[in-house]
Amino acid sequence: MTLLDGKTLSQLIQKEIQKETERLKKDGVTVGLAVILVGDDSASHLYVKMKEKACENAGIYSVVHKMPSSISEENILETIALMNKNHNIDGILVQLPLPRHVNQTKIIEAIDPAKDVDGFHPFNVGRLVSGLDGFVPCTPLGVMRLLEYYKIDVKGLNACVVGASNIVGKPMMNLLLNSFATVDICHIHTKDLASHTKKADLLIVGVGKAGLITKEMVKDDAIVIDIGVNHVDGKLIGDVDFGNVSPKCSFITPVPGGVGPMTIAMLLSNTIKAAKSRKQ
């Protein structure tokens, strides 16, 4: 069993990004990322702080627009419009979730697709589905980079994705399809989940339910990617029963230290990509 170490790979990628930002600065381009943070969700604030620190370390200028949960949808849209026009901002990220009174789709669609470093705008979603270049959501993109780093070729593999969100599951499915894996995607209404997971050469799980995947649900020598994030008894654990599942695996990601760091690295990578487009 080999651990897929996303923390170490993320650090390597961020060092390369730092070199890239220095090269761009010599060409007169300062890479900039704007984050919109609405409300007091503690997890969101933690994620944004981690992103701020990563930007600082990589030499990327970042600004965070912190807004109260009572803010109007119109005010958020006005801020996005200003960021769209700001030539010093290459990427715009709206931290999810948003308060219930705010139309999340409307907010995402307001972002300039050329600055949509989260890859959530329908324009970029369409390009991903069509196999065209664009911005890809950071977590699934990070999974693909992690597999590539460990020389795991997904072509021809039977892959099972558990979770069908727009942020992780659906883009993960499309990335795997574009790489010629055979993909089975499951969700909350899937009947007999184990009958799907047990057939998977590559099992990717991201639903936020601790211990969902047990050893009986995983085939021998499977590759298991755990994207789940759960806080249980003061500990951060994934969706996979790591202690019992890992001995059966050829490769598996730990939680923490697996996919999470790769998500931030891919956000920085997407921001650099946007800056290069501006330079052109």
Question: What domains does the chain contain, in order, with CATH numbers?
Answer: 28-113 (3.40.50.10860), 138-259 (3.40.50.720)
Separation of alpha carbons 178 and 141, rounded Å:
12
pLDDT digits (tens, 9 = 90+) for 62-79: 999 999 999 999 999 999
Would you say 36 and 69 are in contact if contact means Cβ atoms under 8 Å apart?
no
What pLDDT score was predicted for residue 279?
60
Residue 223's H or E segment, with its range, is: strand 222-226
By annotation, the residues acting in catalysis are 51, 95, 118
pLDDT band at 43 (very low <50, low <70, confident <90, very high): confident
Could you give the percent of the chain with pLDDT greater than 90? 93
> Coil, strand, or helix at residue 211?
coil
* pLDDT at residue 42, rounded to an integer: 85
Spell out the long-range contacts of 185-188 with Cβ–Cβ below 8 A and sequence spacing 24 or more. 185/160, 185/161, 186/160, 186/161, 186/162, 187/162, 187/163
* pLDDT score for 234: 86
**pLDDT number for residue 243:** 95
Structure-token pair, residue 94: 């709206």
Burial status of residue 66 (CB atoms within 10 A of its CB: 0-12, 13-18, 19 or more): middle
Q: φ, ψ for residue 204 (rounded to 5)?
A: -120, 125
Average pLDDT, the chain: 96
pLDDT in tens, 9-23: 999 999 999 999 999
Across 93-97, 155-159, 274-278, which has the greatest mean pLDDT? Answer: 155-159
Q: Among 40, 95, 39, 110, which Cα is nearest to 62's? A: 95
pLDDT digits (tens, 9 = 90+) for 200-248: 999 999 999 999 999 999 999 999 999 999 989 889 999 999 999 999 9
Question: Rounded to two decimals, what is the model's pTM?
Answer: 0.96
